Amino acid sequence: MSVVSRLNAGSSSLVSRVCDALHNIYWSGTIHGFPAKEPISSLSLYATREWFTDTQQSQMIELLRSDILNCGRALQDEVCDVWMMELIRAAWREQEKYAQPDTFQQYPRAKTMGAVLAAGEREQLAITVNLHNLHWVSAVIKCKESQILWGDPFKAKPDSDSKRALDWWTFHHTGRQFSWGKLEVPMQKDGHNSY
């Protein structure tokens, strides 16, 4: 029996409410509540098996930030945007340039978050990492513990560039070596990724 048949057989009022809700949804315009203005049609990607783009990942981060704010942890935890790791990698590749005081305009987010890390203003910084444009990985920098946790849904260890860049960036801003640990994340099992 199909889902629609089961819904119709058991609760026509539920089907009516769902149809009414779908009828009242705006199907054009932009999604409200997020910094980036995305077309409403982009919501359909959440109902597919397509990989999240940086836009979708950014929307998830914004929802997570909202949850953190609502539970009163905004002063302890910072969730960085999807481009943070790329900024850290760029800074790592240009270490001498990054170290110059007059280069703030070129690396504002990386330098600001580095200063936050150094001052101990946050307990944790969460960074989403896009590995090789294949899948998303999570990293959490635990400031007080001087530890970086790495969570890969394929259970892989940190790639060498990400590890070296994060080691350099955390040391550059804090003067401390950070240890590495495992961040527990759900295992990803599917046929979409050959990584």
CA distance 163 to 150: 9
| Across 1-20, average pLDDT | 63
Q: Which CATH number fits domain 52-182: 3.40.50.920, 3.40.640.10, 3.30.950.10, 3.30.310.130?
A: 3.30.310.130
What's the whole-number mean pLDDT along residues 103-123?
A: 88
Confidence class for position 34, pLDDT limits 50, 70, 90: confident
pLDDT tier at 1 (50, 70, 90 boundaries)?
very low
Show the tokens assigned to 82.
Answer: 């999807």
Q: What is the pLDDT of residues 141-192, one digit of tens each?
A: 999 999 999 999 888 999 999 999 999 999 999 999 999 999 998 887 655 5
- C-beta separation of 96 from 168 below 8 A: no
pLDDT of residue 162: 95
Mean pLDDT of 127-140: 87
Domain ranges of the chain: 3-46, 52-182
List Cα–Cα distances, 185 to 31, 139, 156, 162, 171, in angstroms. Answer: 29, 10, 11, 18, 26
- How far does CA 23 lie from the centroid of its chain? 32
- Across the range 119-139, mean pLDDT stands at 88
Name the E strands within 38-173.
77-79, 124-131, 135-142, 147-151
- C-beta separation of 150 from 139 below 8 A: yes
Across 135-143, average pLDDT: 91
Q: Give yes or no for residue 12 having a pLDDT over 80.
A: no
